[in-house]
A and B are shown apart, each in its own frame.
Chain A
């Protein structure tokens, strides 16, 4: 993997939701290389999720541009984007009793023609993705019966089955217990080590500190601080963004946030 290559770049993005002046996003710049993990943090309503929606082409920026592997995002078809950028939502409501395997197989959609069924290969890839998130024992369980944390692992597995080079995660580890959170973060680190580009939002600074190399602190729709995690993560910066007193403690070289 050539480190000089930029896999995903958000250049000077501007965005406002039509019909409202209540929120606007301005001057967002993010450059990501293959294998990099970038965390987006900030209070509720600061624009984290909007960035992800822009990055996967769901929303169209009002200004600036998004480059995927050096080409403008709007030059790709929806399906081509689906083959390159995976998305893991925080949760998803589904009313039907799909098995975990059936559900994860849906991740193969961008690789299948609209009239095609998943092949044996697609099923094998999906099974592997389920095993990768440690849910192999649940492959034939119903998704409607899973706990919130298990469901988040399944959503990650679906994005893994999608086999994209970029992965976007929207507070995707929010409901995991400690052991599963560690597993989740280990998986992300492993994916990055294999060259995947990962951009994720989180409400937990510790999660970001555990795996990200870069961090972006958002405040009121603008980037307040951005850069290597160690530089961005200071008690002062976090206090400014979150508006609450914060202490940073370093334990075994890892930064831990304490609020008082």
Chain B
């Protein structure tokens, strides 16, 4: 079992690295297909396309997928609930509202957009959990999902208000792009800090990957196992929210990855987060890179990534839910 898992993880790592390398090479410049790195030497436009557009886009895509997959697993484990994803706890809508505020009131300054996206994403998570504690209906799973959708609706209303207020020529477009989610406008602008936040958060979560198991236990038993459960849950959630909000502040909402990737990882490697956490990281990265490569290569008119992941996510989710408990 353990040996097989190591093999599976190695294969996933291999696939991820191949996807990463191919992502740098594949595209529509100078024509559909692979770029010849040698030909770039005498091609200033090619260099610009490659270094200013494609490299940052692939980096963001990989980080976004890894962040979404890993955080999804952390959310599901901490809430002992395989149905939650960052989208279902209000984090996505919160981060979106933050970004919209940054776009409308702060001229889209990437630092401010990131700061607000992380801040409001985190607030939304805590609001969801806080109000779930106050719902006196159903079990914890249902309460979380209910309260998450209520909080999402609240932040969604805020977004609508901002859209209504926004200048239709620039701001509205920027907000819409954000809500649809995609990597099409990625440049180096704002990217370095996102790289740092996402990588630090992921390193932390990777380091505590076995410990994450314990966060699913009852408060009572977890603390009898010598864990300062509230503190450790908070740290894991904070790392997860930081990673997702940071990547999302540049890409916009890319839904469903955080929900289905952990299911796929557990299906492949079992529940133990020692293995399923690194697997979620890799599968998330692979999924986003493959979807994005497809979107930007296959058609000249680019469909935003968030739309494709939603289509794929919903179908996979229904298949996975149907296949459970058989």
Which positions in A face B, CB cutoff 8 Å?
Answer: 53, 56-58, 78-83, 85-87, 89, 92-99, 102, 106-107, 109-110, 112, 114-118, 140, 162, 168
Contacts and interface: CB of A to CB of B under 8 A. Distances in A.
Interface stretch (B101-109, B117-125, B160-168, B218-226): B218-226
Contacts of B297: none
Contact of B226 (A94, A102, A109, A116): A109
22 contacts: A57-B223, A78-B226, A81-B226, A82-B226, A83-B226, A86-B224, A89-B221, A92-B218, A92-B221, A93-B218, A95-B80, A96-B82, A97-B266, A97-B271, A98-B270, A99-B270, A102-B213, A106-B213, A106-B217, A110-B225, A116-B210, A117-B274
A219 B214 CA distance: 35
Contacts of A96: 77, 80, 82, 216, 266, 271
Contacts of A53: 220
Interface of B: 1, 77, 80-82, 141, 207-211, 213-214, 216-218, 220-221, 223-228, 232, 266, 270-272, 274
B7 to A, nearest CB: 18
B232 A102 contact: no
Contact of A82 (B224, B266, B270, B274): B224
A114 B224 contact: no
Contacts of B141: 95
Contacts of A86: 224
Given A53-B220, A96-B82, A102-B270, A114 B226 contact: no
Given A89-B221, A109-B226, A115-B211, 11 more contacts: A58-B224, A78-B226, A81-B226, A87-B220, A89-B220, A97-B270, A97-B271, A114-B211, A115-B207, A117-B209, A118-B210
Interface centre among B207, B216, B226 (most CB of A within 10 A): B226
Contacts, number: 91
Contact of B223 (A58, A92, A97, A162): A58
A118 B208 CA distance: 12
B274 A109 contact: no
Contacts of B216: 94-96
A85 B214 CA distance: 17
B307 to A, nearest CB: 30
A109 B271 contact: no
B221 A117 contact: no
A87 B221 contact: yes
B264 to A, nearest CB: 14
A140 to B, nearest CB: 7
Nearest to B140: A93
Contact of A106 (B208, B214, B220): B214
A109 B224 CA distance: 10
A24 B170 CA distance: 63
A208 B30 CA distance: 81
B138 to A, nearest CB: 14
Contact of B227 (A82, A89, A99): A82
